[in-house]
Amino acid sequence: MDITGRLIKILPEQRGESQRGPWVRGGFVIETDDTYPRQVAFTTFGEDRLAMVQSLVMNAQVVVTFSPESREFNERWYTDLRCIRVVPVGAGQPVVNAAVAAQAQPAAPAAAPAAPAAPAFASQPAGSDDDLPF
């Protein structure tokens, strides 16, 4: 899944140790450019993805590719939006949100008016006794 928005906050990184070795986790928040803007928080795991986020400029338009994941704990559900990739909009990525797409696309030229449609019964032979249009 992809979403486009403006980077508004980079969350602090967290480090730890598991049975499989050390890990690092971070996150960031974007604000969409929809009619009613939404703030969306994403999580990142791993040094490479964390470096990808930290290389971004604050308030830059970005395209985020993510995977939603949910889990249950004590009969409550928690959902994470795990960031797979985040790139600035100017880096050759298509604009995803309709509001941003409308700003990025030039206005289409007005189409020529269509010719009036012929009535449905005009295709009958001239000498037909049947006056029904079908």
User: Mean pLDDT lowest for which of 42-46, 76-80, 92-96, 123-127?
Assistant: 92-96
Contacts of residue 12, defined as CB under 8 A and 6 or more positions apart, other chains included, come to 26
CA angle 41, 65, 89 (to 5 degrees): 95
Q: What is the mean pLDDT of the chain?
A: 79
Query: Do 4 and 95 meet the contact criterion of CB atoms below 8 Å apart?
Result: yes
Give the model's pLDDT for residue 124: 55
Residue 129 vs residue 27, higher pLDDT: 27
Give the model's pLDDT for residue 113: 54
DSSP structural state of residue 40: E
Assigned token pair, 4: 């486009």
* pTM (two decimals): 0.63
Give the model's pLDDT for residue 118: 53
pLDDT in tens, 55-100: 888 999 999 999 999 999 999 999 999 999 999 987 654 444 444 4
- Mean pLDDT, residues 103-128 taken together: 53
Which secondary-structure segment (H or E) carries 43?
A: strand 39-45
Give the model's pLDDT for residue 90: 74
User: Mean pLDDT lowest for which of 37-46, 87-96, 107-116?
Assistant: 107-116
Alpha-carbon gap, residue 123 to 32, rounded angstroms: 53
What domains can be seen in the chain, in order of their start residue?
A: 2-104 (2.40.50.140)
